[in-house]
Amino acid sequence: MNKLGVHRQSGRGISGTEAEGVDSIVLSGGYVDDRDDGDVILYTGRDKQDDRKRLVEDMPLAGSPNAGFLVNMAKGYPIRVIEGFEVKGGSKKYRYRGLYRAVDGWDSIGIDGWRIWQFKLVKGARPAPVPADEAKLGQGAGDETPVERALRRIVEQSRLVRDAKNTAEVKRLHDNLCQICRIEVRVSLAGGRYSEGAHIQALGEPHNGPDKVSNMLCLCPNCHIRFDRGAIVLTDDLQIIDRLNGNVHKGELWQADGHDILPQFVRAHRSRWELEDFIV
C-alpha cells in the first residue's frame, strides 16, 4: 500500500499530521476499543502500547496525528481506509476498503483504563458544508480557524461535565464531600471545599450515559480518577469495592437525601472492566 501511494507513512496505522489532516488509516486489530461495523467505524487514535498491544499511558491529541482527524472533520477531507486480514498460514494481507469521512470525535476512558480519543468514520458520508468565509485555514491573527473550532467543541464537551447544572446539584446535595472516601478537600482559609461531579455510566459514544443526577457521584479528585479508570467499582447495592487491593470491600457508598442512583448505571460502569473475579 505504501509503494502504491495509498498509505504514505509505512508501518504506521495513521498516515497524516496534526497540521494537514489524515489521508489514510489501517485497520489491523491494534486497539481493543475499535469497532468495525462495515460502513461505520469507531477508530481509536494512535499511542504507545506494550508487547500485549495494551495502552501504557493516556492517548494524546495535540501534537499527534490524532489531532489530524479534526482537520478532516473541519474541512470535509476523505480518509482512505485499508483493512488488514489474516489468510491461511497465519500471514496478513491488506486490501483497500474505500473512502470514509470523520463525522464526530470524543475522548473517554478505554478498556485498558487510559484516556483514549476515538473518531466516528462513515463510508461515503458527504462533507459538512464549510461557509465561504471559513473555507481557508488560518484567516489571520486572532481569528478562529475551523480546526480550532472543532478542537474547542471537543474540549467544551468535556468541560460541560464539570460545569453543568446537574454537576452543581450533586455537589450541593453532598456539600462537596466525597461519597467514597468522605475526605474533605479544603481549598480556602474560609473553609471552602472542592469536589468533582463524576458520571457513573460515561457520556458520549460508545457508552451513551445520560447527563442526570441519578447517573452522577460527588467525588474528590483521587476517587474520581480511580472510579473513571475502574480501580473502584460499585455493586448493585452500592457497596464500594477496591479492585487494586484484591476486591477489598470498603463499605457502602454514602448517599445524601434526594440523591437516588439507578442500578443500571452502576452495572454499565462495572461492565466496562474485566470482572471475572468480582465480588458481587
Helix-, strand-, coil-residue percentages of the chain, each rounded to 5: 20, 30, 50
pLDDT confidence of residue 127: 67
Q: Are residues 129 and 143 in the same domain?
A: yes
Boundaries of domain holding 202: 164-270
pLDDT confidence of residue 111: 78
How far apart (Å, rounded) are the C-alpha atoms in residues 138 and 69? 17
Question: What radius of gyration, in Å, describes the C-alpha atoms of the chain?
Answer: 22
Q: Which of these, 27, 113, 125, 119, lies nearest to 66 by C-alpha position?
A: 119
Q: Are 98 and 155 in contact (CB under 8 A)?
A: no
Q: Are residues 187 and 128 in the same domain?
A: no
Q: Are residues 195 and 147 in the same domain?
A: no
pLDDT confidence of residue 95: 86
The domain total for the chain is: 2
Tell which of 160, 176, 193 closes a domain: 160
Q: Are residues 137 and 257 in the same domain?
A: no
Q: Which of these, 186, 197, 254, lies nearest to 227 by C-alpha position?
A: 197
pLDDT confidence of residue 164: 61
CA distances, 253 to each of 34, 180, 182, 217 (Å): 33, 6, 10, 10
| 230 inside domain | yes
Tell which of 160, 186, 215 closes a domain: 160
pLDDT confidence of residue 126: 76
Q: Are residues 265 and 142 in the same domain?
A: no
> For the chain, which residues score pLDDT lower than 50?
130-141, 146, 158-163, 276, 279-280
Q: Are 212 and 201 in contact (CB under 8 A)?
A: no
| 9 inside domain | no
pLDDT confidence of residue 255: 93
* Residues 6 or more apart in contact with residue 99 via CB below 8 angstroms: 78, 79, 80, 81, 123, 124
Q: Are residues 171 and 42 in the same domain?
A: no
| 6 inside domain | no
| 131 inside domain | yes
Domain harbouring 92, CATH code = 2.30.280.10
**What pLDDT, in 10s, does the model give residues 213-259?**
999 999 999 999 999 888 999 999 999 999 888 888 889 999 999 99
pLDDT confidence of residue 109: 81
Q: Are residues 192 and 154 in the same domain?
A: no
Tell which of 160, 192, 212 closes a domain: 160
CA angle 193, 170, 204 (to 5 degrees): 115
Q: Are residues 262 and 134 in the same domain?
A: no
Q: Are residues 241 and 217 in the same domain?
A: yes
pLDDT confidence of residue 143: 58
Cell numbers given for 273: 472492566
Q: Are residues 79 and 125 in the same domain?
A: yes
